[in-house]
Structure formats: C-alpha cells, structure tokens
Structure 1
Amino acid sequence: MKPHDSDHGVLAPASDFRPSNDLLSDVLRFVQLSGERVFTAELGPGFDVLFQPGAACIHVIQQGSIDIEAEGGSPLRLSAGDIAVLPHAVQYTLSDGPRRGPNERTTLEVGPAGVQAAVLRHGSGSPVARTISATFQFENKGGVSPLLKLLPDIIHIARDADQSAVLIRDVAQFLVLETTEQEPGAALMISRVIDILIIRSLRTWARSLGTRQGWIGALADARVSRAVAALHRDPTRSWTVEDLASVAGMSRSRFAELFLEAVGEPPLRYLHRWRLAMASDLLRRSTLPVGEIAHSIGYESEAAFSRAFKTMFGTTPRDARSAH
C-alpha cells in the first residue's frame, strides 16, 4: 500500500490536489438551490402543526422541545439548538408530543403554498417552543432527481454536533433581523442567507455520514469527493479509473474499493448516471436536437443514448422534452 493510501486522515502531496469547486457546491449549483420565505413559529402547549407537501424547509429550534415527524416515518425529538432540514416536499408535523386521543388537540394545517405570515402561532397559552424557519426549493429537480432522492426526508443536526451548529443558529438570527428591517435589497439578501443556511447544514450533516450511496457517500471521504467533483466538472472526458485514482491521490485498486464502498457503485457507472442527469437538464433548458445532446455527453449514437436514457428515467428523451 502506498503512503497516501492511508485511512488515517493524512494525505500525501499526491492527494493534496483540491479542485476549484468542491463536490457539494457542484451539486447544489446544478440543482439551483433557491431560498424563499422566512417565518418564525411561536408554539404554545398542545401545538400540532401539519405541513402539507410544498416547499422544502429548514427549522432552527430556538426554545423548547418539538417532535417532528415526516409521513411514514417515526417522530424525532428536537431540542433548543437543534436544526432540522426537510429537503423534499413531504407532509410532516411539528407537535409537542404524541397524540393521546383523537379529540385532545386541534391541528393547524399549513397548505402547499406554505406559511404566508411572518409568525406562525398555534397552541394555547404562552409559547413553550419557538423556531426560526425558512423555505427553499431545488429549481432543477427533474434532471437530478436520482441525486436528490438520496437525501433523507429529515436531516437532523444536533445542537452539539460541532461549531458549525452554532454558526447555523447565528446565521438564522441574522436572517430574522434582515426580514424585520426590510432594507433595500432585503429580498435578495434573504434568499442568499437561506442558501448559506442550507449549504452549511448539508456540509455539517455530511461530516457525520457513514457509508451512503451516490454523491452523499462521496461527501464523507475527501479523496472520493475530489474524484466525483472532477467527474462532474468534466463529464465528457474519457475518464479511466486510473485517472480518477490520481485525482484522489490513491492507488487504482484502493480507490476503486473505497469509491464502491462510499458511493455504492463503480466510478464509471456513476459517471454514466451523471452524464444522463446532464442530458435531462439540457432537454429541459435547451432546444438542442436530441442527437446533439447525445454527442455532447459522450454517446456516439442517438439510439444508444435513447436506450440508456429510458432505462434511467423511464421515458425517451423526446417524450421527456415534450413533457417539459
């Protein structure tokens, strides 16, 4: 084993190459993360808020304890200082604990359009729990849905996860200030600050990952992350496993083993998926002929591209374009 193949966190000079854009930035740039609205929640005893599927959301718990439960999942108890990110448009509830009977509480239902007021209030009496919350969207979900599906319904960051959790809470406070003062440029500032909250939250969460599939698994290992980022930035290059191992600063055999362990599939198969995700995005955003898109992502024939596209997305490239 070469010295720079060590798993002890010390990388030899061959592994010190850092691409100009990290993998998380690359993925988020492709999906076009966009911050939307900010609201605070003041929740009294007996609160039970049902959010219908709509925008993605982040909740930073300021006070008290809150049970959050996505449809089909189990309740997760959040305490002051915890952060919850819901990256998908799923139905979920915020409550003060398990329901004890069908008539013992009243549910406040938030529709798909989300919270329209600056303050969301529910429950009886003085607030026992407070949040700073914000909605956001992934604008380009169609082309990269296989990537986004790997994110869980609820991303939980504990208040004592690391120093990043403190930073997220501080940024959330700034977000409230910007929303309250409404100075010139506030709308753009709010959107950008929400972006920062989501990116920092995903980065903090990624560090806690064990073995996961796809780009999420790659985030857990800096060497694999560098290789995947290189694939994303130059997907039409005739990559070999040896090329990618060099970017990672590892031997070919060790890189192939670690990539499969982290990402869940071999490097060149992952590259194939990423190329098709790019093709889906081009079909949506451009008027390029299907054959030209096929060649632009490395296919020699439109027929081969169409077969591969249908296998991945369940529809032909032409039908996908018509649907858009």
Structure 2
Amino acid sequence: MTPFTFARATSPEDAARLAALEGHRLLGGGTNLVDLMRKGVEHPTTLVDVTALSTEIIETARGGLLIGAATRNTALAAHPLVRTRYPVLSRAILAGASAQIRNMATVAGNILQRSRCAYFNDPAASRCNKRAPGSGCDAREGFNRYHAIIGGSPACISAHPSDMCVALVALDAQVHLLGMTGARTVPLAEFYRLPGDTPQIETVMAPGEIITAIELPPLPVAARSDYRKVRDRASYAFALVSVAACASVQDGVLTELRLAFGGIAPKPWRALHAEQALLGGPVTREAVFAAMDLELAEAAPLAGNAFKLELARRTAVAVLADLTGVTA
C-alpha cells in the first residue's frame, strides 16, 4: 500500500476544497476505497475523513426526503419514512451487503463505489481500461458472468455493483453536489457515464466536487414497491440481475410504473422503454416479455452472460406479478 497522510474535513466547503487537491481522496466508511488501496488499484497520497458531513434524513417541504451524504446505509434502510414511503430502497440496501458493511458504508460512498470486476481489481496480472486506459479489457474474452449485457463498449463491460442505486434510479433520486464553483443538483439517472472510449471517467462530477446529499421526491406510487436480487448465493454476492419496481394498478391495468435493473449495465439501468410499453395495459407474462425485448433490443451479451437476457425477463415478470397482484 502506498504511504499516505490523513486530513479531516470540518465542513462541506472544506471537504470540497480538500477534494480538489491532487492525490486527495475522500474517506467515508472506507468499505470500497481501503480495499482498492490494499490491492494496488488506488494510490491516494492523502485520505480526507468526511464523516463530518451530514447524517440527517430530513423530510422536505414537498414531502420528499433529503438524505445526508454521510448517512450510514443501516440508518437509511431502517428509517421509518424510508420503510413506509420507499420500501424498495430499504430492501435494496438490505440485499446489498452484510450488516457489518452496511454499518460502515455511507450513502455517498455507495453511490461512488467502483467496479467489482475481477480484472479491474487485479492490477498485477490483468488488463483493464478503467484502471489503466488503453491497456485493453480482459473481461471480454475472459470470465464475464457478472458483466454488462447492455450499455457497455469495446473498452469496458463492467457492471455497476450497487443495489441501493438501482432503487434510487427507480425513485428519481437527485444528487446534490458541491464544488469550488458552487452547488448543483443532478438526477442520479444522469449522474453515471456509460464507458464509451473513456471508461475511467465514471460520473459527471467535476474535479473537486463532492456529494452532499441525496434527495427523493414525493412519490406516492413508491409505497407499493419492491426489490428483488438474483445472485449465485443467498448472501454477500453481487447481483446477476436485480429489479427495482414501483407499480400502481387499477382494474387490472398498469396506471403507473417505475422499473430499474441492476447487474446488467455499467450504471443502474432505468427501463424507460419497458415502462412505456407496459403502461396502460395488463401485467401478463407475454406483455412483460415483449416490453423487455424492447428494452434489451441493443443488448450485446457475451458467451458468459447471455443468460441474463432471459433472467432479466423472468425476474421482471415475477416482481411485477407480486406487486400488482395480477397473475402474470
């Protein structure tokens, strides 16, 4: 591990100032960053403790929630307003990691966690364009069971690892950012960049910007929501496919729907084509399969992950059937 120094931010403005300095990395819970330092993927010269950032969960004037960046995942999942108004978020967080990790991990850290691709995490023996631009992508011809089937590129097919963020995308969450030029807000659905030719650039954050909060809008349909994660083992595994959904049905017809997927793309994937195809119709197996065919029309699976096409369809059917009470 590269030697480093330690600093502590005393305010959001101080954190943004320190984040702008070369070699400085922000440290919340450290559940991802410290691992990457041990593996030789990350080499910060200074770690900046940002646990002084807000841990509050506040109801907004419009009836949504403002969630401080340093809020621990455990606290967010257990919050009464999250459990009643946004149960999909609570369930996604609980599906994401062990209790020990949830107790340490922060909301902002979860959003900014980096790839869990085995080749990204192996600088000694593997090529990875995300870690070393221009070096190549060993995952394309290697073990790619966990990798993206849509949204990837010849340069990178890493799948986004977060469960929490899949729910947040379905809920139209907004990311509050602060930098040296001021504050701004970005929809989480637009926060992540697809890899293209520059997979090392993962978000739209400018250098020196930090996350100060996440905002959830008032969303009555979210009270009827769910998250389902399909994985290779029952616990402590990343998703092969996951589905976050909020749905409202009247007389057997979908009147409102929000649908997002994890495990299939380099970012949490909002299924806008599938939503549009399903709205106004019944929840049947045939309808969901047809909608998913539209959503995945540009999918480019590889030898090790082509099964995700069918798995995504079947998981969407199961989640929507459970939510709506309609036999799919």
TM-score w.r.t. structure 1 length? Answer: 0.31
TM-score w.r.t. structure 2 length? Answer: 0.31
- Larger helix percent: 1
Instruction: Pick the structure with greater CA Rg.
Output: 1
Higher RCO (C-alpha 8 Å, min separation 6): 1
